[in-house]
Amino acid sequence: MTTRDALDRPIRDLRISVTDRCNFRCVYCMPKELFGSDHAFLPRSEILSFEEITRLARIFADQGVTKVRVTGGEPLVRSDIEQLIAMLAETPGIDDITLTTNAALLPGKAEALRDAGLNRVTVSLDAIDDDVFRRINDVDYPVAKVLDGIQAGAEAGLGPIKINAVVKRGMNEQQVLPMAEHFRGSGHILRFIEFMDVGNSNGWELAEVVSAREIRDTIHAAWPIEALDPNYTGEVASRYAYQDGAGEVGIIASVSEPFCGTCTRARLSAQGELYTCLFGARGHDFRHLLRRGADDAELAEFLYAVWTGRADRYSEERTAETAPVRPKVEMSHIGG
């Protein structure tokens, strides 16, 4: 059975946050002034166990989910994460398991994750210049170590690896060409992401968005590119091939070119709340049902009710005036 929402969009992708913690303090996601040493992260007892996550994944798969992405926070700071991957890999109906990471811990985890059943990793890297990158992650972490993580993932067979770079004016827009140059011909897929108003802590302003058009034009002027067809319906990135055969680059344009109409993604927070939109203000509490003893039929009924009532299309409705004041869940709770 494939469950469809009020706008006839099926549920296909489930993004599972396994922790609200991260070892970086990226200025557009978990700025130190709000996520400092005194920040109260979720206690372990409030975070879903691997068994609870896997049970929910099975319920989601029964209603149409085929792809799971494990996120955070930084998912590799969750102890024994490869055990969860192995459990998800045994879930009937789930045929694609991926993980988004900053790659700091990937060299020590890549082979175990592959052996557990992970298919691919996506690495967040917002600059190739070391000084710029250290300013962004705000924990003085060097680019070279992220590149080591990417290499470890590739050697473990977790590719082709996608590298995600958020582009924010005044932060790293001058890194578009250096990053494109670095990853051209590497076999990896670099994807630039427009700066989005996820949560309410990153000080988002429309003027700081470097549009997809500007990114495309910048790359095309240096190395001509041509559009590629999507790999599948609902793919978030617009794909482009370098005309000289040096591979592929992508652009995710949630702000300037919204793709709400084909969105098939559900998001499960670390504490068990289902969000039907990246920009959602309110989650739907699965943890309460799980821990009061709900059976699978009740969980399935709850999911069906939430998804069939879904009519989110935030990116199509966003304005420069409403975005900063509308309450939204923080990215660190539900991943990207």
- pLDDT per position as a tens digit, 151-207: 999 999 998 999 999 999 999 999 999 999 999 999 999 999 999 877 666 677 888
With 80 as the cut, is the pLDDT of residue 318 above it? no
Look up residue 65 and give its DSSP letter: -
Compute the C-alpha angle 230/123/218, nearest 5°.
Answer: 60
Task: State the pLDDT at residue 324.
Answer: 60
Q: Tokens in use for 79?
A: 């102890």
Provide the whole-model pTM.
0.93
- Lowest-pLDDT choice from 105-109, 177-181, 202-206, 210-214: 202-206
Per-residue pLDDT of 221-264, as tens digits, reads 999 999 999 888 778 899 999 999 999 999 999 888 888 889 99
Query: End-to-end CA distance of the chain, in Å?
Result: 27
Look up residue 15 and give its DSSP letter: E
CA–CA distance from 316 to each of 136, 258, 261 (Å)?
28, 6, 9
Per-residue pLDDT of 44-89, as tens digits, reads 999 999 999 999 999 999 999 999 999 999 999 999 999 999 999 9
Q: Tokens in use for 8?
A: 């006839």
CATH topology (fold) of 13-334: TIM Barrel (3.20.20)
Q: What is the CA radius of gyration of the chain?
A: 19
Beta carbons within 8 Å of 12's beta carbon, 6+ residues apart: 64, 65, 66, 67, 234, 264, 265
- Give me the helices (H) in the chain, please: 50-62, 81-89, 110-116, 130-137, 143-155, 176-183, 212-222, 286-291, 296-308, 314-317, 331-334
Task: Determine contact, residues 159/182, Cβ cutoff 8 Å.
Answer: no
CA distance 321 to 17: 29
Task: State the pLDDT at residue 233.
Answer: 76
Task: Determine contact, residues 219/250, Cβ cutoff 8 Å.
Answer: no
CA–CA distance from 329 to each of 178, 216, 280, 336 (Å)?
32, 30, 6, 11
Task: Determine contact, residues 125/191, Cβ cutoff 8 Å.
Answer: no
Dmax (CA) of the chain = 59
CA distance 140 to 157: 29
Considering only CA atoms, which of 139, 214, 137 is closest in space to residue 169?
A: 214
